[in-house]
Amino acid sequence: MNRRNGISWFACNLLWVLPLALLGKPNFVIFLADDLGYGDVGYQGGDVPTPNIDSIAQGGVTLTDGYVTCPVCAPSRAGLLTGRYQQSFGFWDNIGPFRVSREVEPGIPLEVPILSERLKPLGYACGLFGKTHEGDAEEMMPFNRWDEFYGFNNGASNYLADMNRPHNPIFHNRRIISQSYSSRGIKDSEVSRKGVLLRDRESYLTQVLAERAVSFIERNQGKPFLCYLPFNAIHGPFQAPEHLYEKYAAEKDHKRRLNMAMLDSLDQAVGVVLDALKRMGLEQDTLVVFLSDNGGHEASPNLPLRGKKATYWEGGLRVPFCMKWPRRLSAGQIYREPVISLDLLPTLVEAAGGHTDPTWKLDGVNLLPYLLGERGDPPHRELLWTWGARKAIRMGRYKALSQNQGRTWELYDLQKDLSEEKDLSKQQGERLQRMIKRFDAWEKNLMPQQWGWNKALGYEDPDFGQPRPYHEPGYFEKADK
């Protein structure tokens, strides 16, 4: 080796051992798809090409056993944003009309900091572009917890935002920017035909969110940033621009064809953001994460997993999950130990040069030492889930689940039986009992459910689903005066 090559080799490898603080703070981009199934993406055998999503997996790490904390959206997102099992602060279900008392405000409590509130003290600009569903009290709204917010606060939105009703507008920070078609005298039949969108192609929400995210990155490229993109794709209502719907004319099932077009648009939107990072010279120092909030819906392939959204089979809880950080993570890695969306908050905080604290009561762990090969043990001793009548625990290669409040349990060896077809509960009863004991010890320390769709909670909010005071035009301007 000559002297020049030796110096180059030393300089390159120094990047792997220098403390992160000396390398500067990385940027973060999180793509969160909605209802995207394990088998939807191209890199896992999907039938719709997803080259941009695939490039994240190919350029970094595929997390084969990546999970979320709930098979429906709001609790899953609450876990991701806090790094804590959401049941630990009473967030068991989607925001619904019922709660334990009138005084309870559904959502992530202000005393439980979310990812943006952990990163802003470390010098990060934090923007959210897309769907939120983590509380609608004014103080919990994303325009109060993020530096920039563009999107909607609801379980779903039409993909042309002007089709939405008044209680579900599109916000840019505190300003409502959507204007209903009906108020402009435009009929539904002029806008959509069975989910095929006939006009305003440039306003298709999936693409608008990507464009807004790029604008945020452009304005903040001189300092570290977190750009969080919780898309509403491919959640219903199933709607796609006519030109993309026609692209998949070979698919005869109308619903599946719409979803293929929606996924195509999602992948293009991911590409818009990734291309912007390259154009601005930010790619090497940006940690990019892609995952889904839960398993796929009825029009989404989850193969080879059993089950779909809202189930505790792997198809409801295991999701497409990959990340890349060219400066730190080698391309083409496959990581097979179980990880969970809870891990993102501590991973990003540590990557940003911060430190987590036991008082935060985090359930997630920093994944970087595992992905960099600094640790060979599994990140988690167990992963746990509970929602409604469903309960589950994964320990190593084994998963136990109950679908009837714990009266009976099933046991599966996921290493040999990924599709959960062979119940081992009778053959391995002692193992199952050990797992149930671990689950019960965890569950008994959770906060009881505070709100949701269960009438037994008691109080029913008469204003649920109605416009809030901050939906009124000029509400914030009046408050400022």
Active centre residues (catalytic): 73, 133
Task: Return phi, psi of residue 113, to 5°.
Answer: -65, 145
Give the three-class secondary structure for 228.
strand
Omega before 304 cis (within 30°)?
A: yes
Give how far the C-alpha of residue 394 lies from the chain's centroid of Cα atoms, to the nearest Å: 21
Residue with tokens 């959509």: 192
Q: Which two tokens stand for residue 11?
A: 């300089």
Q: Cα–Cα–Cα angle for 287, 288, 294, nearest 5°?
A: 135
Q: Which two tokens stand for residue 245?
A: 């719907």
Please state at what angle helix 73-82 crosses helix 344-351, rounded to 10 degrees.
30
Q: Which two tokens stand for residue 208?
A: 């608008």
CB within 8 A of 23, min separation 6: which ones? 15, 327
What distance in Å separates the CA atoms of residue 90 and residue 447, rounded to the nearest whole number?
A: 5
Task: Return phi, psi of residue 147, to 5°.
Answer: -70, -35
Is residue 438 exposed (0-12), middle (13-18) or buried (19+ Cβ within 10 Å)? middle
Give the three-class secondary structure for 201.
helix
What distance in Å separates the CA atoms of residue 436 and residue 92, rounded to the nearest whole number?
A: 20
What distance in Å separates the CA atoms of residue 481 and residue 471, rounded to the nearest whole number?
A: 18
Signed CA dihedral, 353, 14, 334, 289: sign only? positive
Give the three-class secondary structure for 286.
strand
